[in-house]
Structure 1
Amino acid sequence: MGSLLRSEDMALSQLFLQSESAYACVSELGELGVVQFTDLNEEVSSFQRKFVNEVRRCDEMERKLRYIEKEIKKDQIAVLDLENTPDAPEPKAMTDLEANFEKLENELCEVNSNSVALKRNYLELTELKHILRKTQQFFDEVDVSTHSSRTSAHEDTQSLLADLSYATGDEKLGFVAGVILREKLPSFERMLWRVCRGNVFLKQTEIDVPLEDPVSGDEVFKSVFIVFFQGEQLKVRVKKICEGFRATLYPCPESPTERRDMSLGVMTRIEDLNTILGQTNDHRHRVLVLAAKNIQNWFIKVKKIKAIYHTLNMFNLDVTQKCLIAECWCATSDLDKVQNAIRRGQEKSGSDVPSILNRMATSRKPPTYHRTNKFTAVFQSLIDAYGVSSYQEVNPASLSIVTFPFLFSVMFGDIGHGFIMFLLGLWMVMWEKPLQAKKSNNEIWNMFFGGRYLILMMGAFSVYAGLIYNDIYSLSINIFGSSWRVPEGIYSFDGEVDDWLDSTTLEPSPFHCVKQNVDNRMYVLNYSTASYLGSPYPFGIDPIWAIATNKLTFINSFKMKLSVIIGVLHMMFGIWVGLLNHRFFKQTVNIVCEFIPQVLFLGCTFFYLVIEIVYKWIAWDARRPKYETLVGCAPNLLIGMINMFLLQSGQYDNVPVAYNATATFNITCSSTNPAFGEPAETFQKILLAVVVVCIPWLLVPKPVFLWKKRQEKRPSKRYMQLGMGDNEEEVVYHDQLLIDTGEDDSKDEEESMGDIVVHQAIHTIEFCLGCVSHTASYLRLWALSLAHGQLSEVLWEMVLRIGLQTNSNHSYGGSVLIVLVFPAWACLTLVILLAMEGLSAFLHTLRLHWVEFNSKFYKGEGYGFDPFTFDHLLDDMADAE
């Protein structure tokens, strides 16, 4: 498990890079991706750093590439994916890239500007063509109406227009023609009427085909209008209104011959423009196709160059201005790889002066680095979401690989549902590469796909838990045969249950289980006469519980006790994991003052309850007890636990109250712990005394020990500061010795004794109360398992069983009903039981690990290792796409 259990051993190293080889060395380190550089110029603004001009040049190249990419997407040209990622180009290649991008951008800008100008001319000619055509139709209508008879109101209107149009002398009417957006036409008409006071005549018609906007490329719908007026004053008003509504006016000759000649000229020019536009678009398309082949390659090169110079800006320059000094964190196991990468960079640059890698001694807190793969990455991400592990403390991700799917399965235990989840995870794992190559933008799908191995394990564990519960879609499987035999307790009859009970000598009791079989006959199982064969069911729960009247009582009690056992063992395991941290950091005071009292406190309370549960399952069998002497009565553990803390002895009653909900059918008496006897009560008093002692043990010794240690070290610290204050190297070495001991004395000095006491008091109260609250919190294992089982049973009884019962007579209607009911049952199962219940169980499992388990040993006060790697640049590009 290696670095997954504890983080990698990190070393702070110092790099001395020659100026001519620094770029190549950083490029090799970026390809390697095992070094995290620290910023040595935090106080220097980004505008005052050495390589700020190079970063700006990279920004400008990225801007040009984004413009080219935008044009490629506008023409819907496919961008080819790269098979191999290109290396970072040399610094001198930046000039060639800049020149290439500048040439390509200028060519595209020129082509686009020419295209826009041509499209604008084409639009104007097209609008003029429609104006000439529509106005010619209008004047033709007027000419026809002039020579026809005037017998209707419509003909009078046409005659009036003819008189106005062909008036002579000073009374001759003027007109203007243009094009306006169709949605502006009603407002335009109202404005003309109000401003001109009704002294103008407007004629409009729609252009049937949509026109293309030359700038945006969108389709617009316009209308042709012609306005008749008399006098220069109205002419000025009409033109101003047209200008305000962004209407385009075109010259329109008065004579039909001139209009016809102009129309022919316009058509000729439109044909010429179509030819030129086609050639322009073909040239633009060829340029973009060539750019699309290299756009990804260019993006990666520019991003790598920018990342290298951004990293170089974090380095310091020596006094000679010929050497760059860098500091970086690196795993000690990767120091040889870093050395080799620096050597390769030096060879590529052709420098004769070697670069130096020097390991430093420091008191700074190293980053946390866990090596993960595609299987363990999802578990590590769950833990990092709570908090990054402190440096070299035990990583809960290594433990949650087993505990997380196991606790999930306890809540989700069902063979059928678990198998469906297992198949889903198996499908994503088997088709991992094709699904990953699709690069979906759906966040929900990416989340599920990232946790495919977790889903696979949760499904497999759920199948196992379902076998333990003997539960598949709320049904049971009879594999080994029941351990119960009812020789004379099963009766079958036709009719109601009450009639059967009245016709027998047996009286109704809660020990009768009534079951209706598929042949519509009632079977009554009398457990009062059932006999236990004496051997437990080989694996899981006996299938006879599926038809028992007290099934829910038994299953609830069994799962509740099981959840308590799992919770106490899980918390105890967390405390023992904390011992590994104490021993690794050589914190003896934590072992004596925290670990031992915590183990005793939890062991004397709830671990003792676990022992009682297991002993109760083993010691009491299914034989019927004697109520007169209470021989064979199983103890009530809850009442016994309460009496243990209240220092009360057991009280006995001779009244049986209910069945015991263990793996047997025996009776529970209302007694505390009669079977354990007086020695058990004495032992419980001893345990309670140990619990009481553990509270001050947790509260007092550790602050006292830290206070004495501070008093002992304070004079020596003062002597070090006064006597050796001039020797900085010795002071740093003294601090390094303090770090190596695992005791963070500098932190203790920063805190006052009052803060330490308050912190320890909070820790003590939190642990003591947490043992109770966390144990109760593990009952969610029982609650969610119960909810899952009941919902599954409801879907079976209320949905699918309706079709099965209808089809019991082998009728056509029953077959049709099954066909209709089964999809509903399947959809509800997938949506409610798999999706919603699965998500609920996942969140509760996550909470049990974050709060109940991690709080026993996990601090999570570290910061993650963020190496300089080019892989992050590629991931960012994929996310942006």
Structure 2
Amino acid sequence: MFGDWGHGICLLLATIYLIGREKKLSSQKLGDIMEMAFGGRYVILLMAVFSIYTGFIYNEFFSVPFELFGPSAYACRDLSCRDATTAGLIKVRPTYPFGLDPVWHGSRSELPFLNSLKMKMSIIIGVVQMNLGIMISYFNARFFQSNLNVWFQFIPQMIFLNSLFGYLSVLIVMKWWTGSKSDLYHVMIYMFLSPTDELGENQLFNGQKTVQLVLLLLAFVAVPWMLFPKPFLLKKQHQDRHQGQSYALLENTEESLQVNSNHDAHGHGEFEFSEVFVHQMIHTIEFVLGAVSNTASYLRLWALSLAHSELSSVFYDKVLLTAWGFNNWIILIVGLIVFVCATVGVLLLMETLSAFLHALRLHWVEFQNKFYEGDGYKFYPYSFALLDDDDE
């Protein structure tokens, strides 16, 4: 979301200053904003490092491209490519080795090309992170020795997510690799609406229609797999326990926790099947709908990255270059001051905070809802009145 290695270097220098003088600054009274920045100096340090990295990928330094990793892979075949089009370009060298080829910057094809690239990157990053969240739920299940959660939560969730959006990510990579002109929107929509139709020019590999039918079937099977077996098996385990079977089999498992919670709630050791079933149904519906909405939510990576790039380009072209074109030192100095203030105030402060908040939301909602349950210790707000003398 914050891909400019010029802005990243500015953030890095500011953070190094805060870290280098942290002993002195920690003993001083800072303002609200400065106090917040100083408290998060190591987080901002990491943000600056990765801003530089993504800036190299986007090949932007205050919105200006550089040929840092060699010359562009394209050259002008005729004069048509000099009027901000790419029609007259011809490939004369191997693909640009790292990041975006500088020839795209300033061309009429820049925005459609970057939109497509960043949108697909956002989907791939989102699918990878959501898969990581589901994998963490597996380790939760193993820790609590809950085989039910492994077989009826982890496995069907992995199947459902990757049958749809994992498959989409594979198609994106294949399209990049082969240079195909297929329409992935069309592929994914008609995978549901008309799964038996021929793909025609949207076919990326042999047997694609058969693969899509199998994946669609797996996705449909995964939903009842998540919904029905677990409540009935929990009911059976509860009945077996009350028929004299060892309670030790359920000790330290999620199932025993649910039974204990029902016992505490009703005082009879009752098992509320309807309550467990409704809870499982809500969990299933949330995951199925969330698989779509969460994937779409990762498109904020593309949107904010595009906003940052366009704002940076506007400040550079409409402020700095316009002031430079007057050939007047006073106007140039005024334009430079406006450019610096806009860069620092909007791009380095507001955009940094915006990117951080959106990244935090993606971690908290789209990522952690795959494994975090909050069923541990009860939350108590921090209070000085509850501190012991030793703690004080």
Q: Tell me, what secondary structure is at the counterpart of 1:716?
A: coil
CA distance in 2, matches of 1:470, 1:760: 47
Quickly say closer, same or farther: Cα 1:823–1:527, change in 2 above 3 A.
Answer: closer
Match for residue 4 of structure 2?
414
Instruction: Name which of 188, 203, 211 aligns with 1:674.
Output: 203
Q: TM-score, normalised by structure 2?
A: 0.90
Distance 1:797 1:463 in 2: 22
Structure 1 distance, partners of 2:354, 2:97, is 32
> Partners in 1 of 2:72 and 2:147 — Cα distance?
55
The code of the aligned residue for 2:326 comes to: T
Residue identity matched to 1:715:
Q
CA deviation string 1:163-199 (max 9, x = no partner): xxxxxxxxxxxxxxxxxxxxxxxxxxxxxxxxxxxxx
Q: Which residue of 2 aligns with 1:484?
A: 74
Choose the corresponding residue for 1:835, options 349, 358, 368. Answer: 349
Aligned with residue 156 of structure 2, among 594, 597, 620: 597
Q: State the match for 1:423 in structure 2.
A: 13
**How many angstroms apart in 2 are the aligned matches of 1:780 and 1:772?**
14
Counterpart code for 1:847: R
TM-score in terms of structure 1 length? 0.41
Higher helix share: 2
Inter-partner Cα distance in structure 2 for 1:790 and 1:872: 51
Equivalent residue for 1:806, pick from 326, 333, 337: 326
- Alignment length (residue pairs): 377
Give SS of 2:326's match: helix
The one-letter code sitting in structure 1 at the alignment partner of 2:26 is Q
Q: What displacement does 1:473 show?
A: 1.1
Q: Find the counterpart in structure 2 of residue 533 from structure 1.
A: 92
Residue 693 of structure 1 deviates from its aligned partner by 0.3
Give 1:545's aligned amino acid.
W
Structure 1 counterpart of 2:120: 561
Q: Deviations over 1:604-662 (max 9, x none)?
A: 00000000000111112xxxxxxxxxxxx52111111111111242465xxxxxxxxxx
Task: Specify the structure having the higher radius of gyration (Cα).
Answer: 1
Separation (CA, whole Å) in 2 of partners of 1:575 and 1:456: 29
Matches within 5 A, 1:354-373: none
Determine the structure 2 residue equivalent to 1:432. Answer: 22
Per-residue deviation, residues 757-786 of structure 1 (Å, max 9, x unmatched): 000000000000000000000000000000
Q: How does 1:94-173 map to 2 (within 5 A)?
A: none
Q: 1:438 is paired with a residue of what secondary structure? A: coil
Q: Is the 8 A contact 1:474 1:789 kept in 2?
A: yes
Secondary structure class of the residue paired with 2:33: helix
Q: 1:450: Cα distance to partner?
A: 1.2
The residue type paired with residue 591 of structure 1 is: V
CA contact under 8 A between 2:156 and 2:222: conserved in structure 1?
Answer: yes
Which one of 822, 843, 846 corresponds to residue 360 of structure 2?
A: 846
- Matched position secondary structure for 2:87: helix
How does 1:330-409 map onto structure 2 within 5 Å? none
Alpha-carbon distance, 1:827 to partner: 0.6
CA distance in 2, matches of 1:478, 1:827: 28
What 5-or-longer segments of structure 2 have no aligned partner? Answer: 266-270
Name the CA distance, whole Å, in 2 between partners of 1:468 and 1:686. 36
Instruction: Give me the whole-angstrom Cα distance separating, in 2, the residues matched to 1:644 and 1:651.
Output: 9
Contact 2:86–2:109 (Cα < 8 Å) also in 1 = no
Check whether the contact 1:643–1:650 (CA below 8 A) recurs between aligned residues. Answer: no
Q: CA deviation at 1:423?
A: 1.6
Q: CA deviation at 1:820?
A: 1.2
SS of residue paired to 1:477? coil
Any conservation in 1 of the 2:86–2:108 contact (CA below 8 Å)?
no
Note the C-alpha offset of 1:869: 6.5
In the alignment, which residue of structure 1 is the partner of 2:298?
Answer: 778
Instruction: For 1:734-813, list aligned pairs within 5 A.
Output: 739-741=251-253, 743-744=256-257, 745-749=259-263, 750=265, 752-807=272-327
Query: Over residues 236-285 of structure 1, what are the superposed CA-to-partner deviations in whole Å (9 max), with x where a residue is unaligned?
Result: xxxxxxxxxxxxxxxxxxxxxxxxxxxxxxxxxxxxxxxxxxxxxxxxxx
Counterpart AA for 1:426: I
Question: Is 1:644 aligned with 2:158?
Answer: no
- The match for 1:607 is 166
- Give 1:871 deviation, angstroms: 7.5
2:224 is matched with 696
The answer for the alignment partner of 1:29 in structure 2 is none
- The equivalent residue for 2:64 is 475
Identity of aligned residues (%): 42
Residue 189 of structure 2 is aligned to residue 616 of structure 1: no
Partner of 2:46 in structure 1? 457
Q: Which has the higher strand share?
A: 1
- 5 Å matches for 1:476-515? 476-479=65-68, 480-486=70-76, 488-490=77-79, 512-513=80-81
Counterpart mapping for 1:245-256 below 5 A:
none
Question: What are the Cα deviations for residues 29-62 of structure 1, in whole angstroms up to 9, with x where unaligned?
Answer: xxxxxxxxxxxxxxxxxxxxxxxxxxxxxxxxxx
Match of 2:34 in 1: 445
Q: CA deviation at 1:830?
A: 1.0
Q: CA deviation at 1:674?
A: 3.2
| Unaligned segments of structure 1, at least 5 residues | 1-410, 491-511, 514-522, 621-632, 653-670, 721-733, 808-813, 874-881
C-alpha distance in structure 1 between counterparts of 2:320 and 2:390, whole Å:
51
